[in-house]
Amino acid sequence: MYSHPSPAQSNTSLSDDEHEEDDMDRSTSFLLPASPARWSSKMHELSLADVDGSNPVNHSPASQLPPEILIHVLKQLHTPRDIHSALLVSRAWCECSVELLWHKPHFSKLPSLFKMISVICRKDQTFTYPRFVRRLNFLMLGAHLSSQLFTRLAACSRLERLTLVNCSSISDGALSAVLPCCPNLVALDLTNVAETTDRAVCALANTAFRLQGLNLGGCKLVTHEGVTAIARNCPQLRRIKLSGLELLTDSAVSALAISCPLLLEIDLNGCEHVTDASVRDLWTHSIHIREFRLSHCSDLSEAGFPAPPRETPPSGPNPFPNSTPLAMPQYPPLKLSRPFEHLRMLDLTACSNLTDDAVEGIVSNASKIRNLVLAKCVGLTDAAVESICKLGRNLHYLHLGHANG
């Protein structure tokens, strides 16, 4: 565990899946061919007789709505139960509502997942149900989701958001088989799927070119190879969480900074091999970043952060020509071409080499920070606090626990 709980802590999932008021498995069973869709098809046969006048029926105005308008109306329904009721009205309503019903199935128990898999694996489907599925969230199932069950979901080829938080029973092989079948993925959360390796991440990178959010927190087998593949192939990436990736190196982080210009959030908590080199690249290229987490990156020093706005002393002749020259710093002072106006959250917990100059440089270049965590930064003094005070009313949360320098 690399960071303490605080109001600044972000949500684990990147999938933006809100829990429905009524679970899918409580509101309706998954549509088998003998249920509402097939029933609506049979009713259509009766409607053909209505047309030739043998069985005149007065149709309501609602049945004459164009599909585009009807779908827009049905989207306003709040629960799967309501959508299921609309599905039973007529064939036209069935065709417009079935995709909405399958858009984001929710699972709280394994039996509901079994029902869904039994439907999407059947050959005599009334509709192409797997293509309707756009979001899947298995947070409630966790370790109960096996690799065998997960591989059946490869048929959901239009999947956009997938949450597999704590699904520790899924193997790297299962991920490598399913992820290439989902080229439309926008967000993927693999938090604590411990068997994830570079093989699965590269398979994702080679397919999901529109990926915007990726959470690999706790996937300790992933290295710079997989993250570099993501950076190279997913230029639309906006959020990436790499907490606890102990094998991650500067090369992958620099690749993210340079190749993903839209980056808004990056989590490098506990990435022990991340140094000043890649953090400087993030400050230089990721100008839109909002959340920046570097907790327990113990190799960071003031060279990895913007320099304070001081004029460099003019260089002149050495007054002591016979003396041994002092060692030059590894990096020149980092001068930013523009301020970090979007940065709102910065976590530097346990960055023990951080100095007052680094804090001054951060505050001078990111004056709208709301949440600042400097716990266990033992090298700071009162001068750092004076710099922080310049944030004024923009600052909402400050943690200086054990920063007793």
Q: Tens digits of per-residue pLDDT, 345-380?
A: 999 999 999 999 999 999 999 999 999 999 999 999
For Cα atoms 67, 73, 76, give the angle at the middle one, nearest 5 degrees. Answer: 140
111 and 250 housed in the same domain: yes
Interior CA angle at 250 toward 247 and 254, to 5°?
130
Q: Are residues 207 and 256 in the same domain?
A: yes
Residue 379 lies in a domain: yes
Same domain membership, residue 291 and residue 150: yes
pLDDT at 17: 44
Give residue 121's pLDDT: 86
Structure tokens at 296: 């327990």
Q: In angstroms, how far is the first alpha carbon of the chain from the final one?
A: 24
Residue 5 lies in a domain: no
Residues 66 and 205 in one domain: no
195 shares its domain with 99? no
Residue 188's beta-bridge partner residues? Answer: 162, 214
Residue 244 lies in a domain: yes
Question: Does residue 30 lie in a domain region?
Answer: yes
| Separation between Cα atoms, residue 301 and residue 351, nearest integer Å | 8
Please report whether residue 152 resides in a domain: yes
pLDDT one-digit tens code per residue, 104-137: 888 888 988 998 899 888 888 888 889 999 999 9
Give the relative orientation of helices 67-74 and 91-102 as an angle to the nearest 10 degrees: 50
Quick one: how far is CA 84 from the chain centroid?
30
- Look up the domain containing 343 and give its range: 107-308+333-399
Going by DSSP bridges, is the β-strand pair 239-241/161-163 parallel, antiparallel, or unpaired? Answer: unpaired
pLDDT given for residue 62 in this prediction:
67
User: Do residue 29 and residue 166 come from a single domain?
Assistant: no
pLDDT of residue 7: 46
Average pLDDT (131-159) is: 93
**Res 43 pLDDT > 80:** no
The residue among 71, 106, 141 that closes a domain is 106
**Any idea which of 19-33, 56-70, 228-242, 265-279 has the lowest mean pLDDT?**
19-33
82 against 343, higher pLDDT:
343
Predicted local distance difference test score (pLDDT) of residue 36: 40
CB count, 10 Å around CB of 149?
18
User: What pLDDT sits at residue 14?
Assistant: 59
The answer to whether 295 touches 270, Cβ cutoff 8 Å, is: yes
- Same domain, residue pair 166 and 100: no
Q: For the sheet containing 135-137, what is the strand order?
A: 135-137, 161-163, 187-189, 213-215, 239-241, 265-267, 291-293, 345-347, 371-373, 397-399
pLDDT over 70 at 327, yes or no: no
Q: Are residues 368 and 342 in the same domain?
A: yes
pLDDT over 80 (residue 185):
yes
- pLDDT at res. 59: 61
Residue 127 shares a structural domain with residue 248: yes
Helices (H), 88-171: 91-102, 110-120, 147-151
User: Is 287 a domain residue?
Assistant: yes
The single-letter code of the amino acid at 368 is K
Q: Does residue 15 lie in a domain region?
A: no
Residue 319 lies in a domain: no
Mean pLDDT of 374-391: 95
The reported pLDDT for the residue numbered 211 is 98
Mean pLDDT, rounded, of the chain:
83
Contacts of 246 (CB under 8 A, 6+ apart): 220, 270, 271, 272, 273
- State the Cα–Cα distance between residues 227 and 376, nearest whole angstrom: 29
**Please, which pLDDT band fits residue 234 given cuts at 50, 70 and 90?**
very high
- The whole-number pLDDT of residue 15 equals 45
Residues 121 and 262 in one domain: yes
Which residues, other chains included, contact 76 with Cβ-Cβ below 8 Å and sequence gap of 6+? none
Q: Are residues 257 and 185 in the same domain?
A: yes
pLDDT band at 58 (very low <50, low <70, confident <90, very high): low
Q: Structural domain tally of the chain?
A: 2
pLDDT tens digits along 82-111: 877 877 877 777 877 788 888 888 888 898
CATH number of the domain where residue 128 is located: 3.80.10.10
Q: How far apart are CA 92 and CA 70, in angstroms?
A: 9
pLDDT tens digit string along 271-293?
999 999 999 999 999 999 999 99
Q: Are residues 69 and 208 in the same domain?
A: no
Tokens of 274: 């991340």
pLDDT interval class at 236 (50, 70, 90): very high
C-alpha span between 284 and 280 (Å, rounded): 6
The answer to whether the Cα torsion of 295, 10, 383, 314 is positive or negative is positive
Instruction: Report the pLDDT averaged over residues 320-348.
Output: 77
Three-state SS at 322: coil
The number of residues in the chain equals 405
